[in-house]
C-alpha cells in the first residue's frame, strides 16, 4: 500500500480563534462575518495585517500589508490585537485531537501539520472518509474549520490543502497532477515567489504544467538551484516522510516557520538571534542551564537536518547560545532555501548546580580572565537578567536588538 499523507491547515487561524473567544464571552457579532483583521493599532496606524476575514479580503486586504493601507481600503475595518498565548492553547487542543488518531504527526507551525495516515488506513473505508471525520470533528468540538489535503507526499498534500477554502477536503494524487495542478498559474506553486514568477514569465513559462515540461538545466541557469527545486515541485516530487517529535523529548527549544524562505546567512543569523533570546529566556525562567544545543533546519523541500554540539560549561546566556547556534548553522547549511529554523537545548541542569570544568575549560577561563578582568559571562548574565525584567514588565517587544532595525522584518504570514 502506498503512503498516504494529510496536510491539515486551520482556516484563518488567528482570526478564527479570536472570533471563537469573543463569542464565548458573549459577543453577538462574529468577526469572521465582517471586515476584520488581526494585528496593528488603529490609533497609531502601525503594524501589519496578520490575519483577515473573508469580507476583509473582498476589499483587497492582504495578509502582511501595512495596517494604514488596509484602513484606506476599508475605513470601517475592525481591528483586533493578537493574543499568542490563546493561539498556543488552541494549537495544543488541535494537536491533542489529532494525536488521538495517530502519533505520526509533524507540526509545521502553530496552525498546520502533516499527519501520516498510512498506519491507520485500515480503520477507515477511504482516506477521504477519514479526512471528513477529522475535519467535521474539529469544527464541532472547537468551532473553527480546517482544510485537509491528501496525497502520497508532503508537497502534494500541502498543495491540495490550498485549493478552495474554507472547510474543505481535497486530494492531489500523482495521477491527478495533470488535471488539477498543471493548469494552475506558476504563482500557485508552493515556493514560487514573486521574483521567481517574474523570471519564469520572461522565459514564457506561465503555468505549472509548462514549468514541469521545461528543461531543469535551463531553469538552473536563470534561477540557480531554486529553478530545479521548482521543476521538481511542478512534477510532484517531494518528501514523503512525516517526522514526529516524541512527547518524551527532554529540553527547551523554539522554532519558527518563516513567512518567506531564508536564502542568506545574514538573514538566518537574525532568526537565530531571535530564537536564542527566546530559548535563553525560557531557560532562565525555568531556572536551568543547557549542556548541549541543536540547530534544526527544514528546507523548502521539507527535508529536515540538524547538528548538535556540547556546551561547556552549561549556560543560559542568550549571547552564548547565539554564538554556538551560528557555528552549528554555518557547518550545517547547504545553501538551499530554508523554510524553518529551530534551536533546541538539552542536558539541562539547575542553574545553581556547581560548574565542573575540564582542564581545557579551566585554561580558557584563566586566559579570558587575564584578557578581561570583568568576565564576559558575568556581563552576559546581568544583561540577560535586565532584559528579562524589562520584557516581563512591558512586553516581549519592549526591547529590540539593533540587528533587527537595520532592515524591516516582515511579520509571519497567517497560515491558511
Catalytic residues: 112
Please give the C-alpha separations between residue 237 and each of 232, 294, 302, 339, in angstroms, as whole numbers.
5, 29, 11, 17
Q: Is 239 annotated as a binding residue?
A: no
Q: Is the Cα dihedral 95, 99, 101, 105 positive or negative?
A: positive
DSSP run (H or E) holding 323:
helix 318-332
Q: Is 129 annotated as a binding residue?
A: no
In the chain, DSSP finds a helix count (H) and a strand count (E) of 14, 12
CB 16 within 8 A of CB 52: no
Beta bridge partners of 243: none
Q: Is the Cα dihedral 200, 49, 304, 277 positive or negative?
A: positive
Beta bridge partners of 147: 9
> Cell 529540553 appears where?
251
Beta bridge partners of 116: 5
Grid cell at residue 224: 540557480
Taking alpha carbons only, the member of 13, 150, 160 closest to residue 95 is 13
**Residues contributing to the annotated binding site:** 9, 111
**Residues contributing to the annotated binding site for Mg(2+):** 9, 111
Amino acid at each position: 500500500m502506498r503512503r498516504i499523507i494529510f496536510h491539515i491547515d486551520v482556516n484563518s487561524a488567528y482570526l478564527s480563534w479570536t472570533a471563537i473567544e469573543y463569542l464565548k464571552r458573549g459577543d453577538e457579532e462574529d468577526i469572521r462575518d465582517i471586515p476584520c483583521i488581526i494585528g496593528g493599532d488603529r490609533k497609531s496606524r502601525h503594524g501589519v495585517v496578520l490575519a483577515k476575514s473573508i469580507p476583509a479580503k473582498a476589499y483587497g486586504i492582504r495578509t502582511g500589508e501595512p495596517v494604514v493601507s488596509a484602513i484606506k481600503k476599508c475605513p470601517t475595518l475592525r481591528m483586533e490585537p493578537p493574543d499568542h498565548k490563546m493561539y498556543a492553547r488552541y494549537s495544543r487542543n488541535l494537536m491533542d485531537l489529532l494525536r488521538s488518531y495517530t502519533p505520526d504527526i509533524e507540526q509545521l507551525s502553530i496552525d498546520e501539520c502533516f499527519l501520516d495516515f498510512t498506519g491507520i488506513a485500515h480503520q477507515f473505508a477511504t482516506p477521504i472518509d477519514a479526512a471528513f471525520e477529522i475535519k467535521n470533528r474539529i469544527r464541532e468540538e472547537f468551532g473553527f474549520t480546517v482544510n485537509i489535503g491528501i496525497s502520497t507526499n508532503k508537497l502534494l498534500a500541502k498543495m491540495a490543502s490550498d485549493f478552495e477554502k474554507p472547510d474543505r477536503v481535497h486530494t492531489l494524487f500523482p495521477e491527478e497532477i495533470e488535471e488539477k495542478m498543471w493548469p494552475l498559474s506558476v504563482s500557485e506553486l508552493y515556493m514560487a515567489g514573486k521574483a521567481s514568477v517574474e523570471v519564469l514569465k520572461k522565459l514564457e513559462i506561465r503555468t505549472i504544467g509548462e514549468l514541469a515540461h521545461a528543461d531543469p538545466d535551463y531553469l538552473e541557469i536563470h534561477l540557480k538551484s531554486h529553478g530545479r527545486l521548482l521543476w521538481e515541485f511542478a512534477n510532484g516530487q517531494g518528501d514523503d516522510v512525516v517526522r514526529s517529535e516524541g512527547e518524551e523529548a527532554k529540553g527547551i527549544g523554539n522554532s519558527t516557520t518563516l513567512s518567506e524562505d531564508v536564502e542568506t546567512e545574514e538573514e538566518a543569523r537574525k532568526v537565530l538571534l531571535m530564537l536564542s533570546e527566546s530559548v535563553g529566556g525560557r531557560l532562565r525562567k525555568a531556572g536551568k542551564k543547557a549542556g548541549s544545543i541543536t540547530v534544526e533546519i527544514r528546507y523548502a523541500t521539507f527535508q529536515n537536518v540538524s547538528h548538535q554540539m556540547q556546551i561547556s560549561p552549561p549556560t543560559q546566556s542568550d549571547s552564548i547560545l547565539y554564538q554556538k547556534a551560528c557555528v552549528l548553522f554555518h557547518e550545517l547549511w547547504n545553501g538551499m532555501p530554508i523554510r524553518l529554523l529551530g534551536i533546541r537545548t538539552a542536558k539541562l541542569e539547575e542553574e545553581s548546580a556547581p560548574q565542573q570544568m575540564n582542564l581545557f575549560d579551566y585554561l580558557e577561563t584563566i586566559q579570558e580572565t587575564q584578557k578581561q578582568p570583568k568576565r564576559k559571562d558575568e556581563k552576559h548574565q546581568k544583561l540577560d537578567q535586565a532584559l528579562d525584567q524589562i520584557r516581563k514588565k512591558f512586553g516581549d517587544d519592549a526591547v529590540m536588538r539593533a540587528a533587527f532595525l537595520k532592515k524591516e522584518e516582515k511579520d509571519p504570514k497567517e497560515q491558511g
